[in-house]
Amino acid sequence: MALRTTGLTKRFGGLTAVDGVSFELAPDECCSLIGPNGAGKTTFFNLLTGALEPTAGSVEYRPSTGTSRTGAVGDGGVAGDGGAVGDGGDGADGGDAAAGRDGGDAPGADGWVDVTDYDTDQTALAGLHRSYQITNVFATSTVLENVRVAAQAHGGTDSWKVWRNADSFTEYTEQAYAILDRVGLADQAETVAQNLSHGQKRNLEVAIALAGDPDVLLLDEPTSGVSTDGIDEVKRLIDDVAEDHAVLLVEHNMDVVMELSDRIAVLHQGELIADDDPAAIRNDERVQEAYLGGYDPDEHRVASAGGSGSGSGSGSGSSDATEDRDANGSPGGDSP
């Protein structure tokens, strides 16, 4: 496993947004997390990434060891020769690379790191990266700069060398170009981010999440607001990224979920009510009642042929403005 939670719970006063969720994610799988609006999906993401402190339970992460991925600089590391940060894999302060630049906990004998109390920068440096429901990029910077800065942020002592000429950071520029090529934005490298189409901005956000060569990617509604034509490109990208990353995907478009997922977990009123392969989830009576409402892939495929937007193929809890819109970690619409 790459990531696991045990009894993870979050309460906001008398409201329980996430209720005793025990969950595992394997290094080589794409798992979708689905459920109606207010089920607790984005709150769960915020707990995994340190944006929220859990009321109870734990989050543990098992980092890879020396795994080389597309877009990494050096021989399997982010900014060094074979390590995650610096030369040999150590962080700037001599802490374990997997625990991040700030010297977090080293993996135990079984390889697991308890990241329950990590904040957002610590979890990112450890190797858990996420995208957001609302596109979150540097709008007035170029596409290349968005990704280069993200790569540099994972570069140990280089992350704070703000007075050094950016052109001298060739390793991060090379990493950024490699990632942009992977997400189909290489030809837009010098474009100012605010001039991209919405679908291109979603791809840029995935590119930013890929910078630093994470082990786990958490993608929060990556097709939200994307046109029907653009959804195919997003699906291609997620399928490609899932080849060498563990991917946890929150998505309301059920065609996307059923096509890409190795496994589907279902949250309802903060509880994990089902966790199985797509075929079993499609036929699960509890899931039908709570969310899918008689989802028929053939019916949705016909309906979407003449439609546009990411609403085609959505479950009964399709995304809208009430769902989890606060990226800063407050409950927003995600509390039951």
In this predicted model, what pLDDT tens digit does every residue of 111-158 receive, in sequence order? Answer: 899 999 999 999 998 999 999 888 889 999 999 999 999 998 887 666
pLDDT of residue 254: 92
CB within 8 Å of 207: residues ≥ 6 apart: 143, 146, 147, 179, 180, 182, 183, 185
pLDDT band at 97 (very low <50, low <70, confident <90, very high): very low
Of the candidate ranges 84-93, 116-125, 277-286, the one whose mean pLDDT is the lowest: 84-93
pLDDT for the residue numbered 270:
96
Quick check: 319 pLDDT over 50? no
Asked whether residue 176 carries a pLDDT value surpassing 50, the answer given is yes
Cα-based distances in Å from 128 to 47, 75, 122, 214, 228: 12, 20, 9, 6, 29
Average pLDDT, the chain: 79
Model confidence at 159: pLDDT above 70:
no
Return the pLDDT at 139. 94
Residue type, 228: T
**pLDDT score, position 161:** 62
Q: Residue 41 — φ and ψ, nearest 5°?
A: -65, -50
Share of the chain above pLDDT 70, in %: 71
pLDDT at 64: 83
The Cα 329–Cα 49 span in angstroms is 10
Mean pLDDT of 285-306: 67
CA dihedral 163, 166, 172, 177 (to 10 degrees): 160
The C-alpha R_g of the chain, in whole angstroms, comes to: 19
The predicted pLDDT at position 315 comes to 54
Dist CA 311 CA 168 (whole Å): 44
Query: What are 59's strand-pairing partners?
Result: 5
Helix, coil or strand: residue 289: helix
Looking at per-residue confidence, does 251 or 294 come out higher? 251
Residue 147, both tokens: 């990704």
Spatial distance between the Cα atoms of 133 and 325, rounded to a whole number of angstroms: 7
Q: What is the C-alpha to C-alpha distance for residues 211 and 71, in angstroms, rounded to an integer?
A: 8
Residue 96 has pLDDT above 50, yes or no: no
The token duo for 62 is 């098992």
